[in-house]
Structure formats: C-alpha cells, structure tokens
A and B are shown apart, each in its own frame.
Chain A
C-alpha cells in the first residue's frame, strides 16, 4: 500500500446523562451520537483490506461496509448491511461487550483508539427506528417453504433464530413464558441501559417478518417438546434462558428483604416496580443496600437500587476488582453513580430483626490464594476479621443455574453435570433429533450477543438439515 493513511486517534465520545441526575432516574444513561458525531467517528475507520472486526463479531456483521455507508451518509444502506446479519442492532449496539469483540481486534486498538463500533451500530439502529418508512421499503416477502419451527423463549437467542428462519421461509412460532416478549432484555437489563421501547421495536421487527409469538406459554407445562414435535412442528429450538438463581447457602438467606438479582431486576424492570404505585408490583429498598457478586448483573442491581432511592449501596465481592467479571464500563458507571465496592469481602450470615426482616449482614475479610480451576485466584477467609454491616435490603447476584422444567420433561435430551443442555457449539444440535438448543440454557449465563450467535448458528443448521 503506497497511499499514506492518515490515522485519527480521537474517538468521538458519546454524550451521557450527568451523573448527579442519572443516578436518580431510570432514563437511558448513554444518549447516542448525533448524525455529525456518527459520521465523524465513521470517518476514522481505515477500511482494512482484511478486517478482523467481522470475525470478532459473534453474528458476523459486515462492520467496515456499514461504517462506510455511515461515513457517506447513506443510512438506509447501513441499516440494510447490518440487518442482513443482525436482526437486533438497537439492542446489541447498546449491550454488547464490544471491547472484547469487534473493538478489541480493530486495527486502531493497537493505538488504543478502536472505532466505536457499538456506538455506530446503535446510531444506525436508532436512525432506522425514527424512519419507519425505510423499513417498509426494505422488507422482502419470502414464500413459506412448508416447514414449521417452534422456538422456546423470546430472548436474544430465540428472537435471532426466529428472524433468520423467517427470512429463509420457515413458519416460526415462539413460545414465551412471560406476559411480554424479550426475555432477559425485558426482565433483566434495566431500562437505563436498554429502554424497553427499543426492545419492543426490535420484537415488532421480528414479528413483521411473519414470526408468531405466543405469550404465557411455559413449554414443559402447557406442552412438552415431544408434543410440539408431534403436533406439526418440524424442529424445535430451545432458548429458554438461564433459569434458577443461585444463593450463598448461608444462615438467614431466606429472610424478608433478601432478593435474588433475578427477582429484584424482574420486579424493577419487567413489572416496573420503580413506578409503584402506578404499577401494582412493589419493591423494598430502604436506606442501606448490599449487593453480593461481581458480574454485570450485580452492577445492574446496584444501579437500580440507587435509582430506587437507596442512600448507600455496597457491592460485596469476595475477590479483588481485577477478578471481577463485570465489564469495565459497567464498573465505572456504577462507581461514578456512587456504588461503594467492598472488595475481598464475603458474607457469612444474615441477621434478622424482630419481624423477620434482614437488618445486618456479617462478613469476613478475604485474601487471595493460588489460582483455582477458573484461573482466578481463590479467595480465602481471614480468621478473626468478621464484622457486621447494617442493611435493609440484600440482593444476591451470584449467577443462575439452568431451569429444570424443559430437561425434566423432555425424553432423550441429554444434560451436562451442571444441568445445561448438551448442544454442539457449532450448530446447536442436541442429543435429541430435530431439537436444537442455544443461549444460556446450553452455555450457562453468558452475554446477549453470544446467545444471538447461537441462535444464528442454529437457524443456519436447521436450514441445512431441511434443505440439505
């Protein structure tokens, strides 16, 4: 290459709500680029001949191409390019961990200023949402190929699989257990990170492709997987999500005021307890909140607790910040908003008041020993260091174990010793014929985009299975 490329290392920042304001409201924190900012950021892309970013993306978005379209101001073209592989860009543009995917392998990351792929993707998706006439024009009607697929769960894996199959001509029905579609995007991820109208717009897009969504349907209860296969469905894709919350198994864990993160977030996000009493579902926060865990869900729960009016939110984590699984950006947001990190600390029991409510948590200080199987240094309790912290609410965010409803009602579906469904990583095939599985049910708790990748691979394999 003879032509000298001028490299611009000034990543365009995305406007955010002021900390002092946002820590008390549920509006979206990140405000998104305006057109000029998007074009400016897109112009930094050096359009690599062999782009790494595409392979860094679990759903293989043609990143350089869509960025070029943004740079040229051709937003409909940018939408078309993204949507040809990613049906939910307004979601992934907001919640993907780009720093470990496309942006990590971006050529400009060597200089510490990767292209802000996520922000650009979000810009394009939001542009599309505000220009509904474009979507209509781009929609192609496909003819039904005569095959019916049932999808269990309408989270990121299910929606992606459904959209890809519908585009290929399959008749798709999604069965959703809750009263609204979206799965973790609705019950788990808070409004201030992923507005629910954005999720519903993406769900509407999937429906516009001809996908039917049946709400209030718990597969394994209202119909088994075998019944679906017997009653006209040619294939089933299982994407029911992560399932059952894990607890610490320490004394006092069932006291009132102790929530699993799943319950706390479901009440807040899905049931809109932050708008109680306008919405009927209540939530208790009180003055002092302890959140136990160090993942993204712990960050979400902490930040929700602040917005629900807690005066002090302590995040209790047994290792140090280096070992924390939460994204750097989420940790920063939480700290900025006032969440206090109590690191190298582990709860040992909960103490109740006279009414059976939790009033304090007893903790030990920890130190780090040798690395364990996970590769992280094992936390060891320091004797004699116990202390108590007054709390009104405790949120346990230790992850989830797979929900047993489907494995226990499906003959011939093999599970691992952790209770996840055994599924081929490349194509989602399970031990049971005509049944595929992807997302958290197959991998254990992971990210939205990895679930979408699994949905995509399963859709492609289902098509290979039927089309040969």
Chain B
C-alpha cells in the first residue's frame, strides 16, 4: 500500500497527488510512468510521473479526471492508501544536448513535461517551454515551468491569457519565422501531440511524443498498448512511451483509446449512484 501525502486540484478536472513510494522515487527518470490500481477491484492504469523527491521518497502524479479510476484517485485524501503502484516503467526520455528545443505541454502534459524540461536544461539545452489550455482558468504550474525553462510561452484557445491559439500554432509560427529548433518534446492528449507533430513535419524537426494507450500489466506482457510506429507494431509500455511523432499512426491510437467507452460509462454511472447513496446514508 502506498500512502497519499498530498492531494490537490490544479485546475478543473486536473488533479495532483503526492504519494509515498521511496524505491520508485530513487529510480525514476524523466519520461517514465507508473501503473496504479486504486483499490483491490480497480483497473491498472498508466500515469506519467511529473515530479519526485528522492530524499523524501515521494512521487508526484498529475492527471486528468476522465473516468472512474481517475475520479476515485482524485478523491483520495492525504493519509489514504493506493492499493498498488508499480514503476518506474517504460524507457526514459532520451536526454542529451541538442541545442534549442521546445517542450510543449497541454492538459495533464503541463505536469508531465516539467521533469523533461529540467533534465534538458541541466545538460545545456536552450529550452523553450510552451503550454496551452482552452482558457486561463485551466492553466497551472506556470511558475515552476518558467523557472525551469529559458523561456515560457503560454497560449490559450480563447485568448484569455497569453497568446491566442494552441501550442501547435506557436510552434508553426516559430518555424515559419526561421527559428532553428533541434527537437520538440510534446506531452498531452493524443490530439495535441498529433497537431504538434503535424506542425513540425514539413520542417523535419524531430518531435518526440509520449504515448499512453490503454495498458494492463505495463511490462510488455499483454500487448494491449500496441501502437503502430513507422509501420511497425510497438508496445508503448516497453518500447516507449516516447516515439517519433511523425511516424505514429494517430488514427489507430485514438481508435484503440476509445475501445471501452461504453464500459467506462457504465462503471462511472454505477459508481456515481453508489457515491450518492453513500452520501445520503
């Protein structure tokens, strides 16, 4: 069992948990993830690690509340326990000195990009971070990202804060103006990462995306997370989660992501009914 030490809403539907997991905190590297099971009857889901403190033995997870498992996780209060947490899983993001790089984050990816930004900066890259949200009230972690990066650009879909538009618009604009970018790292929903990859394709800028399809074991045993990259089948859990965005079959990824929509809805409805009943008792 893994004790929750902090629980916080960062933005509507975006939640942060700090969990005691000393062995994981000692080993984790940027880009890796954990598989979490909230309780004994829970699902196993992958969550990217957004921060960690080795000396305190604590890891930080930032996630989007999208279904029953993530709703249950978000309700955990400090002192509560997570039934199972295994990691670090997946290959770490390849960190080396590339030159000027862009780190793009959207949604929960604003959290997930932070360790990548820090690691790239540490080895001497010029890091331009760009984060997006539909509107100002959905933004978070602006300060830590500003501190960790050489430059931070914030963009909102409705123009309520920073620039108006999306991360891919900013990247495209920079490339159109002839700015030299060696590499782009994108973290967020598949649609956002696809658009980032499309923005850089024409300019041949290598774009590294982090895929988190549906997983079960997370150790290469079940093949549920298979993705098609450059025409080859890869397992995101052991061959990834990082892949070259220009080679990813996004259509397939998004279709597989939707495989259990009906079941997810059913679970959630039942859970909500139960939760309401418990409240009224």
Which residue numbers of A lie inside 8 Å of B, CB to CB? 177-179, 187, 215-218, 221-223, 241, 243-245, 247, 249, 253-257, 259-260, 262-263, 266-267, 271-272, 276-282, 284, 355-357, 403-405
Given contacts A218-B219, A282-B264, 18 further A-B contacts (CB under 8 A): A178-B217, A179-B86, A187-B221, A216-B86, A222-B23, A243-B220, A244-B223, A244-B235, A254-B226, A254-B228, A277-B266, A279-B41, A282-B263, A282-B267, A356-B256, A403-B219, A403-B220, A405-B219
Let me know if B37 and A179 touch, CB within 8 A.
Answer: yes
B83 contacts the other chain (Cβ, under 8 Å)?
A: yes
- The minimal Cβ–Cβ distance linking B213 to chain A, given in whole angstroms, is 10
Chain A residues contacting B258 (CB-CB under 8 Å) are: 256, 355-356
Chain B residues contacting A404 (CB-CB under 8 Å) are: 220, 238
Chain B residues contacting A218 (CB-CB under 8 Å) are: 86-87, 89, 219
B88 contacts the other chain (Cβ, under 8 Å)?
A: yes
Pairs A–B under 8 Å by Cβ, sample size 14: A179-B84, A223-B23, A247-B233, A254-B252, A256-B259, A262-B222, A262-B223, A276-B267, A284-B263, A355-B255, A355-B258, A356-B255, A357-B255, A357-B259
**B contacts with A, residue count (CB < 8 A):** 43
Let me know if B223 and A245 touch, CB within 8 A.
Answer: yes
Let me know if B220 and A405 touch, CB within 8 A.
Answer: yes
SS of A interface (majority): loop
**Alpha-carbon separation in the docked complex, A257 to B37 (Å):** 23
Chain B residues contacting A282 (CB-CB under 8 Å) are: 260, 263-264, 267
- The minimal Cβ–Cβ distance linking B107 to chain A, given in whole angstroms, is 23
**Alpha-carbon separation in the docked complex, A355 to B238 (Å):** 27
- The minimal Cβ–Cβ distance linking A358 to chain B, given in whole angstroms, is 11
Contact among A241, A263, A276, A355 with B222 in the assembled complex (CB-CB below 8 Å): A263
B270 contacts the other chain (Cβ, under 8 Å)?
A: yes
Let me know if A280 and B41 touch, CB within 8 A.
Answer: yes
Let me know if A280 and B42 touch, CB within 8 A.
Answer: yes
Given contact pairs A221-B89, A276-B263, A403-B219, A281 touches B224 in the complex (Cβ within 8 A): no
Which residue numbers of B lie inside 8 Å of A, CB to CB? 23-24, 27, 37, 41-44, 68-69, 83-89, 216-217, 219-224, 226-228, 233, 235, 238, 251-252, 255-256, 258-260, 263-264, 266-267, 270
Chain A residues contacting B266 (CB-CB under 8 Å) are: 277
Let me know if B216 and A271 touch, CB within 8 A.
Answer: yes
Chain B residues contacting A405 (CB-CB under 8 Å) are: 219-220, 238
Let me know if A271 and B44 touch, CB within 8 A.
Answer: yes
**Alpha-carbon separation in the docked complex, A266 to B43 (Å):** 12
Let me know if B44 and A263 touch, CB within 8 A.
Answer: no
Chain B residues contacting A277 (CB-CB under 8 Å) are: 263, 266-267, 270
Q: Which of A216, A218, A247, A267 has the most CB of B within 10 A?
A: A216
Chain A residues contacting B68 (CB-CB under 8 Å) are: 280
Let me know if A222 and B263 touch, CB within 8 A.
Answer: no
Chain A residues contacting B23 (CB-CB under 8 Å) are: 217, 222-223
Chain A residues contacting B219 (CB-CB under 8 Å) are: 177, 218, 403, 405
Contact among B41, B222, B264 with A272 in the assembled complex (CB-CB below 8 Å): B41
Chain B residues contacting A280 (CB-CB under 8 Å) are: 41-43, 68-69, 267
Let me know if B260 and A267 touch, CB within 8 A.
Answer: no
Q: Which of B24, B69, B238 has the most CB of A within 10 A?
A: B238
* A400 (CB) vs chain B CBs: closest residue: B221
Let me know if A281 and B84 touch, CB within 8 A.
Answer: no
- The minimal Cβ–Cβ distance linking B30 to chain A, given in whole angstroms, is 15
Q: Which of A262, A280, A281 has the most CB of B within 10 A?
A: A280
Given contact pairs A244-B221, A253-B233, A356-B252, A179 touches B83 in the complex (Cβ within 8 A): yes
- The minimal Cβ–Cβ distance linking A216 to chain B, given in whole angstroms, is 4
**Alpha-carbon separation in the docked complex, A224 to B259 (Å):** 35
Chain A residues contacting B27 (CB-CB under 8 Å) are: 221-223
**Alpha-carbon separation in the docked complex, A249 to B232 (Å):** 9
**Alpha-carbon separation in the docked complex, A243 to B84 (Å):** 21
Chain B residues contacting A241 (CB-CB under 8 Å) are: 221
Let me know if B84 and A244 touch, CB within 8 A.
Answer: no
* A408 (CB) vs chain B CBs: closest residue: B238
**Alpha-carbon separation in the docked complex, A403 to B259 (Å):** 26
Chain B residues contacting A266 (CB-CB under 8 Å) are: 216-217, 221-222
